[in-house]
Amino acid sequence: MAREDGRPARVATAIRRELGDLITTEVKDPRVSLATVTDVELSDDLGSARVYVSSLDIVAGVDRGPEIVAGLQTASGFLKKRLNARLRLRVIPQLRFYHDTTERNAQALDRLIDDAVAADRLNTDASDSQDEN
């Protein structure tokens, strides 16, 4: 594992920033609309990058993650070429895209907690009203 302040971490941060910009401004594939790069993990030799992406449309009923990943895989050659022009690295890593479900999972947990709290309040209110009788 590379040190957090080492070169792989700095390059990963630069790739994340540039990919985020490229995806929003230059990728024309409609499957990729409202996509954001959440994280980039580089191998120690900088030869491959795991790029985690998520949809900004988190309230949509359908999870668009697999669709976004497919669109980005199709555009990976274009993105790699554009990264090379922007970053001037000796070797641009092979880009592999993965769906990041963190935000959607967090919203589902929030809903479960809210539902549990509401149910607990109903039970408490019901038992309080029975105690008064």
The mean pLDDT of 123-127, rounded to a whole number, is: 72
What pLDDT is stored for residue 14 in this prediction?
A: 94
| The three-state (H, E, C) secondary structure of the chain, written as one string | CCCCCCHHHHHHHHHHHHHHHHHHHCCCCHHHCCEEEEEEEECCCCCEEEEEEEECCCCCCCCCHHHHHHHHHHCHHHHHHHHHHHHCCCCCCEEEEEECCHHHHHHHHHHHHHHHHHHHHHHHHHHHHHHHC
Q: pLDDT-based confidence at 116, cuts 50/70/90?
A: confident
Q: Which residues are CB-contacts of 98 (< 8 A; sequence separation ≥ 6)?
A: 50, 51, 52, 53, 69
What pLDDT is stored for residue 1 in this prediction?
A: 42
Cα 50 to the center of its chain, rounded Å: 11
Identify whether the C-beta of residue 23 lies closer than 8 Å to the C-beta of residue 69: no
Locate the domains of the chain by residue range: 7-100
The domain 7-100 is placed in CATH, from the list 3.30.300.20, 3.40.190.10, 2.10.10.90, 3.40.50.300, at 3.30.300.20
Q: pLDDT-based confidence at 39, cuts 50/70/90?
A: very high
Percentage of the chain exceeding pLDDT 90: 45
What pLDDT is stored for residue 6 in this prediction?
A: 81
pLDDT digits 0-9 by tens, 65-94: 889 999 999 999 999 999 999 998 888 999
What pLDDT is stored for residue 65 in this prediction?
A: 83
Provide the whole-model pTM: 0.74
What pLDDT is stored for residue 124 in this prediction?
A: 78
The mean pLDDT of 110-120, rounded to a whole number, is: 84
Is pLDDT above 90 for 101?
Answer: no
Alpha-carbon distance 24 to 45, whole Å?
28
What pLDDT is stored for residue 4 in this prediction?
A: 56
